């Protein structure tokens, strides 16, 4: 088994015994350790890939991307995180997508564009929920384009989620 597989299995064993609040606090500590160079950036992966809590996945995904050093390393991290969505590697694909969208980075948007139509209605709702009440200008444009793309299709739940996000939503990270 790969080290990542072992790390995920270990994380999943702890998951039922720890509340989301406990996992969020542990993630904050881990994030500080990564920021301080005490842990490798890869230590964030079990939280980003293996958790179901929107806030944990959102924070872990952004920390993974942002903690990459150079612009080139960040571009690679963005590509990796987008692949978690596209290949179904993350348990909470919607929170990963929302975290990347919230970065307000054109490179992230380029990677997310082809993945938009592969998300379920509940994943789109998660994307919109994780963006909070005031998405940034680039994210707002992205959501508007997405809404236009599905405007004439049979996706009322998806349209409703995107429209609600554009009009103002709830920030799950404060929960």
User: For position 132, what pLDDT does the model report?
Assistant: 80
Q: Is the pLDDT assigned to residue 47 strictly greater than 60?
A: yes
Given a cut of 60, whether residue 118 has pLDDT beyond it is yes
CA dihedral 143, 149, 152, 155 (to 10 degrees): -60
Contact predicate 175/142, CB 8 Å: no
The total number of structural domains in the chain stands at 1
Reading the block at residue 22, the tokens are 């406990």
pLDDT tens column, 53-106: 999 999 999 999 999 988 899 999 999 999 999 999 999 999 999 999 999 999
In order, the DSSP letters of 7-33 are: HHHHHHHHGGGS-HHHHHHHHHHHHHH
pLDDT band for position 155 (50/70/90)? confident
Between 84-93, 115-124, 166-175, the lowest mean confidence (pLDDT) is in 166-175
Whether 170 shows a pLDDT value over 70: the answer reads no
pLDDT attached to residue 11: 87
DSSP per residue over 126-146, as a string? HHHHHH-SS--HHHHHHHHHH
Distance, CA of 19 to CA of 14 (rounded, Å) = 10
Is residue 26 predicted with pLDDT exceeding 80? yes
What mean pLDDT is predicted for residues 22-48?
96
- Label residue 168 by pLDDT band (50, 70, 90): confident
DSSP annotation string for 58-99: HHHHHHHHHTS-SHHHHHHHHHHHHHHHHTT-SS-HHHHHHH
Mean per-residue pLDDT of the chain: 91
3 — pLDDT class (breaks 50, 70, 90)? confident
Tell me what the mean pLDDT of segment 21-38 comes to. 96
Question: Do the beta carbons of residue 57 and residue 28 sit within 8 Å?
Answer: no
List the domain range (segments joined by +) for residue 110: 3-174
Tell me the pTM: 0.91
């Amino acid at each position: 088994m790969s080290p990542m597989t072992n790390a995920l299995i270990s994380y999943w064993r702890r998951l039922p015994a720890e509340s989301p609040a406990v996992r969020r606090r542990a993630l904050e500590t881990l994030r500080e350790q990564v920021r301080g160079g005490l842990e490798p950036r890869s230590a964030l992966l079990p939280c980003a890939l293996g958790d179901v809590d929107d806030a944990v996945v959102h924070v872990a995904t952004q920390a993974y991307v942002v903690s990459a050093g150079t612009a080139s390393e960040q571009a690679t991290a963005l590509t990796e995180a987008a692949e978690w969505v596209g290949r179904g590697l993350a348990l909470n694909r919607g929170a990963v997508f929302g975290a990347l969208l919230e970065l307000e980075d054109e490179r992230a948007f380029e990677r997310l564009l082809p993945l938009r139509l592969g998300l379920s209605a509940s994943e789109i709702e998660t994307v919109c929920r994780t963006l909070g009440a005031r998405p940034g200008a680039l994210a707002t444009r992205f959501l508007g384009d997405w809404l236009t793309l599905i405007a004439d299709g049979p996706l009322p739940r998806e349209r409703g989620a995107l429209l609600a996000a554009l009009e103002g939503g709830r920030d799950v990270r404060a929960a």
